[in-house]
Amino acid sequence: MKKIQMLIDGEWIGDQNDQWIDVIDPASGKLTTQIVRGDNAHADRAVQASKNALKSSTWKSVKPFERGQLLQDTARYVRENAEELARLESLDTGKPIGQANADIEAAARYFEFYGGLADKVFGDTIPIEENLVNFTTIEPIGVTLHIVPWNYPIQITARSVAAAIATGNAVIVKSSEDTPLTTNFLAEWFNEKLPKGVFQHVTGYGAEIGAALSSHPGVDQITFTGSVPTGIAVMKAAADNVVPVTLELGGKSPNVVFKDADLDRAVPSIVNSILQNAGQTCSAGSRLLVDESIADELLERIKERFSGIKVGPPSHNADVGPIINEKQYKRILAMLGSIDKNANVLAGGKAVQVKGYENGFYISPAIIEASSHSDFFVQEEIFGPVLSVIRFTSVEEAIDLANDTPYGLVAGVWTKDIDRAHYAASRIDSGQVFINSYGAAGGVQMPFGGYKKSGIGREKSHLAVQNYIQIKNTAIQLQL
C-alpha cells in the first residue's frame, strides 16, 4: 500500500513521526491507503511556501499565456491518464467507473477552459477627463485555499485550481479525508511543472488542518465546497481576516413537472438527477414537484425505472454505488428511519447487502411521497439516493414549493409551454434553471452557484476568474 504524503514547498511530507489517517474503500469497507494527519505547523509551512512562491520571480515571470499552456498541458495529461485517474476516483468514492470517466473528462475540460482564458483577463481604461489616464490592472489575489469534499474530488479540485493558476495565484488544496488519490496524482504532476509552493496538497481532518488554514492570516481567498455548517465556520474564520470566500454548499433542488411535460424525456433525466453518484451531488434533483393530474403516471414510470437499478460496487458495473463512508451511511439510514408514518414510501430506502462486499455502504434508491412540504426529508439535504415527491395543482403553487427550502442551487422545469417555462424559470430562486433537461454535460462554461444557503459566488465559466483576482485602479495626471 502506497501511503499518500502531502506536497508542501516542493517536498513530500509524511514519515514515521507523523500520525496517519486510514482511507477506506466505500465499496468494500477495506483499507485503501493512509493520509498524513496535517496540523497547524503544516498549515503554517504551506502558507509561508505559497507566500514565498508569489514573491519569487520564478512564478511572477511566467507569462499569462505560458500559464495557459501549462494548464492546457495539464488537460492533455489528465486525458492521457484518464483510465488510471478514473480507477483511482472510483476506488476512493465507490462511484461507477462510467461516472468516474465523466468526472475525469470534466476535470480535463476545466484545465483546458481556464488554460484558454489565462491570457484573456483584461483591465479597463476609464475616461475621466482630459490629461487623466485612468486604468485598471489585474493582479493575482494571492494565496488561495481550496477545501474540497469527497463527492467529486477531481472535478471540484480542477474547477477552482485551474481558475486560480490561470490568474497567477499560489494554491493550497485541502482534499477530503475520504478521497485524496486523484489530488495526489495532480500534485505529482504539478510538482514537476510549477515552481515550488505554487501548488500544494495538504491532508488531514477538516477540524484540524482545514480550520488552521481557513483562519490563517496568510491566506488571501478561500473556495469551499461542502456542508452548510462547515461553510459557515469557514466564512466566520475568513471574516476575522477580512478574506473573501466562494462557498458551494449544496441544495435541495427541484424538478418541477407541469401537466404538459414530455414524460419520455423527463423520466430518465429525473431518475439520473437523483441517482447519479448515489444522490451525493450538491445539485442532485432531490425533490420532485409534479402536477396532480399526471402524478400517478409519472410516479409509476419512475418506480419502474428504479426497479431496474442495480446497486453495487464499481467492479459490478452497477448503476448506483455505495455511500461514501460509514458515518454518512448511518446518517442517511437514520434519516430514512425517522420518516413520518404519513409519508408514502414508494420504493427502496433500505440497507443493501452485496455479496462479497458485505462491509460496503449500500442503500437502495428511495422514492418517498411526503404528506407535507415541511417534512424534514423534503427540506433537508439527505445527500443520498432519496427522491422526495410533492404534488401541486397550480403554477403558482409549484413556484412557491420550488422556493420553499433554505436552498437555491439548481432547478429543472418540464413543460412544452414556452410562456410557462420562462415564467417559472424567472421566479424560481436558483442559480441555474434547466428547462426540459437537468444538468448539461459538465457545464464547464456555465456559471454555477447558489441563492440562499446554497452558497456565495459563482464557480465554473469565465466569471470564476473574478474570485482569484485583485483589481487595481491607477490614475496618471499628465502635465505638459
Report how far residue 418's alpha carbon sits from residue 322's, in angstroms, rounded to the nearest whole number: 39
Angstrom distances, CA of residue 96 to CA of 26, 163, 316, 347: 12, 28, 9, 22
Q: Taking contact as CB under 6 A, which single stretch among the options 7-15, 64-72, 121-129, 209-217 is the one that binds ligand NAD?
A: 209-217
> Binding residue for ligand NAD (CB under 6 A) from 148, 194, 243, 433?
148
Specify the residue, 72 or 454, whose C-beta has the smaller distance to ligand NAD. 454
Q: What does the DSSP 8-state code read for residue 465?
A: G
Please confirm, yes or no, whether 300 is among the known catalytic residues. no
Q: Is 52 in the site for ligand NAD (CB under 6 A)?
A: no
State which residue has the least CB distance to ligand NAD: 206
Residues 267-326 that bind ligand NAD (CB under 6 A): 282
The packing angle between helices 82-93 and 97-117, to 10°, is 120
> Residue 475 has which C-alpha cell?
490614475
> Residue 112 has which C-alpha cell?
483546458
Report how far residue 261's alpha carbon sits from residue 472's, in angstroms, rounded to the nearest whole number: 50
Least separation in angstroms between CB 385 and ligand NAD:
13
Least separation in angstroms between CB 435 and ligand NAD:
24
Q: Is 93 in the site for ligand NAD (CB under 6 A)?
A: no
Q: Taking contact as CB under 6 A, which single stretch among the options 39-47, 130-138, 229-237, 300-308 is the one that binds ligand NAD?
A: 229-237
Question: Look-up: residue for cell 418506480?
Answer: 303
CB atoms within 10 A of CB 342: 10
Q: Is 248 in the site for ligand NAD (CB under 6 A)?
A: yes
Specify the residue, 42 or 301, whose C-beta has the smaller distance to ligand NAD. 42
Report how far residue 284's alpha carbon sits from residue 248's, in angstroms, rounded to the nearest whole number: 13
Question: Look-up: residue for cell 511530507?
Answer: 13
> Binding residue for ligand NAD (CB under 6 A) from 214, 246, 415, 432?
214
Q: Is 383 in the site for ligand NAD (CB under 6 A)?
A: yes
Please confirm, yes or no, whether 248 is among the known catalytic residues. yes
Q: Is 149 in the site for ligand NAD (CB under 6 A)?
A: yes
Q: Which of 112, 282, 381, 459 is catalytic?
A: 282
Question: Look-up: residue for cell 497547524?
Answer: 40
> Binding residue for ligand NAD (CB under 6 A) from 105, 112, 177, 319?
177
Report how far residue 454's alpha carbon sits from residue 320's, in angstroms, rounded to the nearest whole number: 25
Least separation in angstroms between CB 280 and ligand NAD:
7
The β-bridge relationship of strands 132-140 and 221-225 is unpaired
User: Do 463 and 447 contact (CB within 8 A), yes or no?
Assistant: yes
Burial of 443 (0-12, 13-18, 19+ CB in 10 A): middle
CB atoms within 10 A of CB 296: 11
Nearest one of 42, 54, 62 to 220, comparing CA atoms? 54
Q: Is 381 in the site for ligand NAD (CB under 6 A)?
A: yes
Residues 325-344 that bind ligand NAD (CB under 6 A): 328
Least separation in angstroms between CB 30 and ligand NAD:
20
Specify the residue, 206 or 348, whose C-beta has the smaller distance to ligand NAD. 206
Q: Is 92 in the site for ligand NAD (CB under 6 A)?
A: no
Could you give the residue numbers annotated as active site?
A: 248, 282
Please report, as ranges, the residues that interact with ligand NAD according to CB under 6 A: 147-151, 174, 176-177, 206-207, 210-211, 214, 225-227, 230, 233-234, 248-250, 282, 328, 381, 383
